[in-house]
Amino acid sequence: MPAAGYRRHLYRDDAVVLRVQKLGESDRIITLLTRRHGRLRAVARGVRRTSSRFGARLEPFGHIDLQLAGSPEGVGSSLHSVSQVEAVALYGKQFLTDYPRYTAASAIAETAERLTPVEREPSLRLFQLTLGAMKALSVGEHASSLVLDAYLLRAMATAGWAPAVAECAVCGTAGQHAAFSVPAGGAVCPDCRPPGAAHPAPATLGLMNALTLGDWAVADASEPPVRRECSGLVAAHLQWHMERALRSLPLVDRRENP
């Protein structure tokens, strides 16, 4: 039942589709990361029918403009209703048959959902990062593993978890240090290095820094072993702060494509 005095109203926003779930025989629940209203869940009625006017526009990883019925302020039901959808760019169609890019997109979408635990809380920077990552995967200019790790590093920065790579995570001493400790917060100097710290190759920390800064010339020139070591450190750092594993991350196919 709607709250007393509450009337659902229509409003528009653009969004990235993060996830879809079946509801009943013909409906779906769509999880969206919107530009102005944060993460929302909305019911799309009848979209699984072959006669649906906009079912194909509500597939994961697409950028859409839509009209929603509900309350962006959080009054009444947490579920909105989709009343109109226009495709801006259906990025997912560009890599549905490309397993490395598809699995990278799935990990990006799950990360975006996990980093927005409160519905209707705007997160413009995360929205822009997610949209940019989906576009980058659709173009295929960079290896999907690099796009994913760049996204994870920048998304962690928006959450305040960015690993230190150009200074000691403990004392702040500038420089490229030889050890890396996830619990300590990133690279650590010899004086602050805790027991059990990893000792990545210097090029690995250089790649992490390049991905954080968007230096694609350096990132694209990196060697496969460096990329794999970088991915391991990024994943460990992310999941340490999230305090539980991402379901999609172990499925990511990191074969080189460009």
Q: Give the number of other CB atoms < 10 A from CB of residue 196.
A: 9
Quick check: pTM over 0.85?
yes
Measured CA to CA, the distance from residue 126 to residue 35 in angstroms comes to: 9
Query: Distance between CA 242 and CA 237 in Å, rounded?
Result: 9
DSSP state of 77: -
Confidence class of residue 168 from pLDDT cuts 50, 70 and 90? very high
CB distance 224 to 232 below 8 Å? no
Q: Which domains does the chain have, with CATH numbers?
A: 10-93 (2.40.50.140), 142-251 (no CATH)
pLDDT of residue 5: 45
Residue 76 tokens, joined = 């009444």
Q: How many CB atoms lie within 10 A of CB 88?
A: 15
In this predicted model, what pLDDT tens digit does every residue of 116-165 receive, in sequence order?
A: 999 999 999 999 999 999 999 999 999 999 999 999 999 999 999 999 99
Answer yes or no: are the C-beta atoms of 47 and 27 closer than 8 Å: yes
Tokens of 190: 């010899």
Token pair belonging to 1: 């039942």
Question: Which residue do the tokens 């649906």 mark?
Answer: 52
